[in-house]
Amino acid sequence: QKEVEQNSGPLSVPEGAIASLNCTYSDRGSQSFFWYRQYSGKSPELIMFIYSNGDKEDGRFTAQLNKASQYVSLLIRDSQPSDSATYLCAVDNYGQNFVFGPGTRLSVLP
Amino acid sequence: DTGVSQNPRHKITKRGQNVTFRCDPISEHNRLYWYRQTLGQGPEFLTYFQNEAQLEKSRLLSDRFSAERPKGSFSTLEIQRTEQGDSAMYLCASSLWDSLGPVISPLHFGNGTRLTVT
């Protein structure tokens, strides 16, 4: 059974700080990794995806992937109160379905 | 690109009744997924289609659940004889699958259907 683990939080950071969200996955065969943001009562929205080892930057967001350690992270620079949400890590299951972690709640304090 | 559309947004039903949800995916997407999410949990996979073929169904999905995607366009998810434990947000998502590519494209979610079973 594939597993994706995340700290449930809440992770609290002050406005303007860097928020670091972590995710580990159990299956070394996974190839594709995704970060979604979900506001309370809303559906998940895609933030970033990463396929290769290393860093991928998009605006204030950086995804980091280390397949050897089976670890993927999301950094949010210059955190804003509007970034307060649950962040879901998702991993592909051999190109079939996607396995989601339980999510990490992020709270950015003004 | 009008996005993934789900109807209804909310459904309240009494235990034992049948309910049906509809999902219209992004038009050029060939894969359609159904997930279920309860409070404080991540989305849980239910089933997915590639075009009109249902390729996988979660072992967690009881026989009371059935999904269809006629003609590879919209999809319906039916729950028969609903139970209080079925109360959740039902999420539909679509993606574009390219069999020649080494990686999978992201899921794009609809707004979800929130089911409450009383």
Can you give the pLDDT at residue A31? 87
Of B41, B43, B102, the CB nearest to A44: B43
Q: Provide, as residue numbers in chain A, all residues whose Cβ is less than 8 Å from the Cβ of B35.
A: 100
Q: Confidence class of residue A97 from pLDDT cuts 50, 70 and 90?
A: confident
Report how far residue B31's alpha carbon sits from residue B67's, in angstroms, rounded to the nearest whole number: 14
- Mean pLDDT throughout B31-51? 95
Q: Which residue of B has its CA nearest to A98?
A: B45
**Bond from prior residue into A44 cis (ω within 30 degrees of 0):** no
- CB contact, 8 Å: A8 with chain B? yes
Distance CA B68, CA B65 (A): 10
pLDDT at A1 (0 to 100): 67
Question: A19 or B1, which is more confident?
Answer: A19
b/e per residue B22-54 (b: at least 16 CB within 10 A): ebbbbeebbbbbbbbbeeeebbbbbbbbbeeee
Residue A47 has pLDDT above 70, yes or no: yes
pLDDT of residue B72: 85
Give the pLDDT of residue A82. Answer: 97
Query: What pLDDT score does B105 carry?
Result: 84
Tell me how far apart the alpha carbons of residues B34 and B87 are, in angstroms, rounded to a whole number.
15
